[in-house]
Amino acid sequence: YGYSHPKILGTLLSQAGRLSLCSKNLYHDQLSGFLEKLCLLTRMDKAILANSIFEIREIAVKAAKTWGIQRKGLQPDQVEIITTTPRGFRTVPYGDLKALHKMINSGTCAVITESIQNKSGLKIPEKDYLLEVARICREYNLLFILDESQSGLGRSGELLFYQSENIQPDAVILGQALGGGFLTTSALVGRIDLLS
pLDDT tens digits, 57-101: 999 999 999 999 999 999 999 999 999 878 778 889 988 999 999
In the chain, the amino acid numbered 185 is: T
- C-beta neighbour count of 13 within 10 angstroms: 11
8-state DSSP, 158: S
**Residue 4: C-alpha distances to residues 8, 9, 37 (Å):** 7, 6, 21
Rounded-to-integer distance, Cα 84 and Cα 117, Å: 9
Q: Model-level pTM?
A: 0.87
Hey, which residues does 143 pair with through a beta bridge?
110
The model's pLDDT over 22-65, given as tens digits with 9 standing for 90+, comes to: 666 666 777 788 889 999 989 999 999 888 888 999 999 999 99
